Amino acid sequence: MSERKVLNKYFPPDFDPAAIPRRKQAKDAQHKVRLMTPYAMRCDTCGEYIYKGKKFNARKETVEGETYYSIKIFRFYIKCPRCSAEITFKTDPKNTDYVAEHGAQRNFEPWREERIAGEESKLLKEMEEENNPMKALENRTIDSKIEMDVLDALDEIRTRNARNERVDADALLDKLVEQDNVKEKSQEELLEEEDSKVAKAIFHNIDGDAVKRIADEDELDLKQLLSDSAKSLLLPKFSSPNTPNTKNEDDNSLAKRKQKRPGSELGIIVKKRKQASTTSPVKIETNSSPILSSTTSTINIDPSSNKIANSLGDLLGAYGSDSDNDD
């Protein structure tokens, strides 16, 4: 298959380019081109605004009889996108710009007005100097003064640049680092002063005396802080009955409880009571609080009696009767 886009074409050895006839074109012939508008404009027919850079399919032609130093001037034809009115503009080689010719007006551009105003003032100044020699002298004096000021400013800039070139970069960096360190130290000192002020405000009383905290080793027991009378009012500590911890002890105690009592053969249940040798009064002290006064009560317990006072059971935490029951 041959190449679709042929880049190199074959020319036979007997090819004569002069034998090819030239195509004749008119001087005012127009060519179709694709362009973008070089400036913002407003259509005179419908008032549509066309911004700068809008793309159009245009026709280009060479302007006959107009040149600028043998430079050709071209004219472009476009149509308004709203009303399809024809708009023309041409090139301006003198000002390196474009000129609106027909169908639309160029929008106001302040920088163009400033440039035009500057050119006009320059022309007026030249005309005044030609007619008035004293005015020309004054203008030259003002210009020389401005030039001297500019030269002085340039000398100052050169001197400053030379002085900056002589400065050692390492020394400058060391100096900056030192300044940063001094600034950090000053900030740390300020923070320490603020901390000390806060601590002084917290740990000092109104008179200015320091309030010391008692160390853990020096802390006193609560009982040492109580008076002797309050210590006597404290209740004694009652120990709980020993409970078996192992399975063997439970089995031994259960075997002892199941031992036969006298009369067990006859089916009689005998309850053994613990006999008290003597009757003795029991003194009990009750304390409602360490601050309140204590009350002392005396209760007589009869060993022959089978009942114990509820008050004694409540105070001593008794577990009930001392008699053993058969399982």
Binding site annotation covers 52?
no
Q: Which two tokens stand for residue 192?
A: 């320490």
Distance CA 299, CA 311 (A): 9
d(CA 100, CA 41): 9
Cite the DSSP H helix spans in the chain.
110-131, 133-166, 169-203, 222-225, 228-232, 247-257, 310-316
Tracing tokens 């004096």 back to the chain, one arrives at: 141
Integer Cα distance of 145 and 138 in angstroms? 11
Q: Which residues pair with 286 in a beta bridge?
A: 295
CA distance 281 to 300: 5
Buried b (16+ CB within 10 A) or exposed e, 140-152: eeeeeeeeeeeee
Hey, is 49 helix, strand or coil? Answer: strand
> Which of 179, 157, 175, 156 is closest to 167 using CA atoms?
175
- DSSP states of 68-137 as a string? ETTEEEEEEEEE-TTT--EEEEEEETTTTEEEEEESEEEPP-HHHHHHHHHHHHHHHHHHHHHH-HHHHH
As a whole number of Å, the end-to-end CA separation of the chain is 118
Structure tokens at 105: 């007006």
Residue 309: partners with Cβ closer than 8 Å, 6 or more residues away: 299, 301
Q: Was 64 annotated as part of a binding site?
A: no
Residues annotated in a binding site for Zn(2+): 43, 46, 80, 83
Residues annotated in a binding site: 43, 46, 80, 83
